Amino acid sequence: MILIGLGSNLGKREHQLERALQRLEQAGGLRIANTSNLYETRPVGDMDQPDFLNMAASLETRLPPLALLQRCLAVEAELGRVRTRRWGPRIIDIDLLEYDGQQISLPELQLPHPEILHRGFVLIPLNDIAPQLPLANGRTVAEMAGLFINQVPAEVRLWKKVSWDGLNKCFV
């Protein structure tokens, strides 16, 4: 299973997420198989910024992991992402989270993504599309997401139920 996480907290956040998925597919060699719902989340690290919309998506592709990472970075740049400060606001963020169980440790890519276990804004959307995925700690996405789902105050809130329409390439 190939999984990505997406987030946006600048501009028309939902539109940015949708555009990112469209651009990933338009470049060819990749199909969005499924998407999570959209979740509104508080920022992590630098708290002086707007809330994020986050989601996850599963992909079908024959692109190798580094080529897929390059595609994600190219889409970010195409949509106007400028990296100015760590954990700062961003128009779009696309993270490669999981690639068919591969373990990769390179300066530019670590798989599975090393922060999955600590981020409710990743685990809760992943729970929509891959609840039984085993994680590095031996627990499943569903088990780990459960630690974040009922937090008070809610760090991750359902914002909108969506599904990816493969014909129209948009949220319906």
Out of 93, 100, 119, 139, pick the active-site residue. Answer: 93
- Is 31 catalytic? The answer is no
- Is 100 catalytic? The answer is no
Distance separating alpha carbons of residues 43 and 139, to the nearest angstrom: 25
Out of 13, 19, 23, 90, pick the active-site residue. Answer: 90
Q: Name 26's Cβ contacts closer than 8 Å, sequence gap at least 6.
A: none
CB 162 within 8 A of CB 171: yes
DSSP string, 70-84: HHHHHHHHHTT----
Out of 19, 81, 119, 128, pick the active-site residue. Answer: 81
- Is 51 catalytic? The answer is no
Residue ranges in the chain assigned as alpha helix (H):
13-26, 65-78, 120-129, 141-149
Positions annotated as catalytic residues are 81, 90, 93, 95
